[in-house]
Amino acid sequence: MGKKSSDINSNPSYKDVECLEESGMREVSVIGVGMTPFGKFPERNVLEFGVEACFKAIKDANMDPKFIQVAYAGHARTGQLQGRECGIGQSVLWELGITGIPISSVGNFCSSGSTAFREAWIAVASGMYDVALAMGVEQLSVRLGKGRPLTSDGIELLTSLGFVPATFFANLAVRHMYEYGTTKEQMALVAVKNRKNACFNPYAQYQEEVTMEEVLGSPMIVYPLTLFSCCPTGDGGAAAVLCSKEIAKRFRSDPIDVAACALSSGVYQKKKDYTTLFVTKEAARQAYEFSGISPEDVDVAEVHDCFSISELVHYEDLGFCKKGEGGRMIETGATNIDGKVAVNPSGGLLSKGHPLGATGMAQVAEIVWQLRGEAKGRQVENPNVGLTHCAGGFQESLELAEVSSCTVLLFKK
């Protein structure tokens, strides 16, 4: 996974497989997942989301909590919003009687939860620990300036010049429309599909369908992105228990294997092409090479649909379709629940909302349920390989730069 491609801008070579045996790491399984409903709960305490999610995940693993040896907590804005830069993991697990073990916080923008998952995976894969817990929590309903676009962390200068995450993706959308003829209707289809899927997800913040007309006719936030083209914020928590594959069946008969956990940061490129997230291409390249899985093998994926255009670009950058074909791909129905690769059967961020640190862990929960065959009403037919993708944060750069963090995780039955 440490291997670097000589030319980041060329298409990744999926043949160049660096397999698990060569890396000297152990195989790791997920044996328990849990999450809270996502929504806006300003009356609750941020720790409650973690306690509920971790309790559910440990129960789902049929495990005595004393087996947990190490834990990582992902959260992105609890420092700024709640005065909790550190200590979320310790306080959550304290409530559950899990004390004394190494616990630390992981902050990595929208990828905070999935980065915590990757840390837990490394801890077990390295052989240092047998059982690890990863959680993600966030509570955005307590923020000031509700009803305005959420600003991003870590970009003081850009923010002072009127930049918000929505402008990054709106600028991208305009350029994608210009270069590839992507239409507003194709972008709107992302929201229509994901909101339809969410009707069967009891954890989603919004569980009602929207029509194309409603998406296009909802108030403009940042042209060309309308209200229903932007994910809502939200509160929530999600967690997973990981262990070495060797011991997984002691706890559950149906462990899900972790095939790869890749993390990348923004890739520097002069006069960057604004229709591609190289951060996604790089994480995908690492994950596919490490696992030997190719994009064609992926049956179900939870991708970071922070805005409608984002999902179309992720199809392209994850290798689900050719560059520029994202808009046409959704039109064919290839990413519906019964399509070639089901994307966001949970409803995605557009329906669940985006409690930053919890998002990546909720994606893991959905993929584990899908691979177990437990996703009632939104179940993909007999999937073998699942993928999760998170991308977020921005570089403090006035030259066109990249999203700052991206994880691509691969799972198989």
Partner 1 sequence: MENGIKKVLEITVSDNRGKIEKRSRVVREGLFDWPSENPSLVGARCKKCKEVFFPKRFICPICFQEDTLEEIHLSRKGKLYTFCILERGPMGFDPPYAVGYIDLPEGVRIYSILTEADMKKLEIGMEMELVIESIRKTSDGEEIIGYKFKPVL
Binding site for partner 1 (CB under 8 A): 144-145, 147-149, 151, 157-164, 166-167, 170-175, 178, 219-225, 268, 270-272, 274, 398-400
Spatial distance between the Cα atoms of 314 and 320, rounded to a whole number of angstroms: 8
Q: Of the two residues 63 and 177, which places its CB atom closer to partner 1 in the complex?
A: 177
CB of 375 to partner 1, least distance (A): 34
Please, is 140 exposed, middle or buried when counting C-beta atoms within 10 Å of its C-beta (0-12, 13-18, 19+)?
Answer: buried
Q: Of the two residues 69 and 218, which places its CB atom closer to partner 1 in the complex?
A: 218
110 is catalytic: yes
Whether 149 and 222 have beta carbons less than 8 Å apart is answered as: yes
Spatial distance between the Cα atoms of 252 and 273, rounded to a whole number of angstroms: 46
Task: List, edge to edge, every strand of the sheet that includes 131-139.
Answer: 103-106, 70-74, 131-139, 235-244, 28-35, 256-265, 403-412, 385-394, 300-302, 342-343
Q: Of the two residues 92 and 279, which places its CB atom closer to partner 1 in the complex?
A: 279
CB of 274 to partner 1, least distance (A): 6
Q: Which residue has the tokens 């000589």?
A: 6
CB of 269 to partner 1, least distance (A): 10
Coil, strand or helix: which one is 314? helix
CB of 40 to partner 1, least distance (A): 18
Cα–Cα–Cα angle for 221, 229, 168, nearest 5°? 65
Q: Of the two residues 81 and 86, which places its CB atom closer to partner 1 in the complex?
A: 81
Going by the DSSP 8-state scheme, the letter that residue 408 receives in this structure is E
Q: Of the two residues 86 and 174, which places its CB atom closer to partner 1 in the complex?
A: 174
Spatial distance between the Cα atoms of 139 and 44, rounded to a whole number of angstroms: 9
CB of 310 to partner 1, least distance (A): 14
Could you say which of 354, 389, 390, 406 is catalytic? 354
CB of 222 to partner 1, least distance (A): 5
Q: Of the two residues 225 and 337, which places its CB atom closer to partner 1 in the complex?
A: 225
Tokens for 185?
């209707």
Helix (H) / strand (E) element for 268: namely none
Going by the DSSP 8-state scheme, the letter that residue 153 receives in this structure is T
Please, is 127 exposed, middle or buried when counting C-beta atoms within 10 Å of its C-beta (0-12, 13-18, 19+)?
Answer: exposed
19 is catalytic: no
Could you say which of 110, 261, 321, 390 is catalytic? 110
Q: Which residues are catalytic?
A: 110, 354
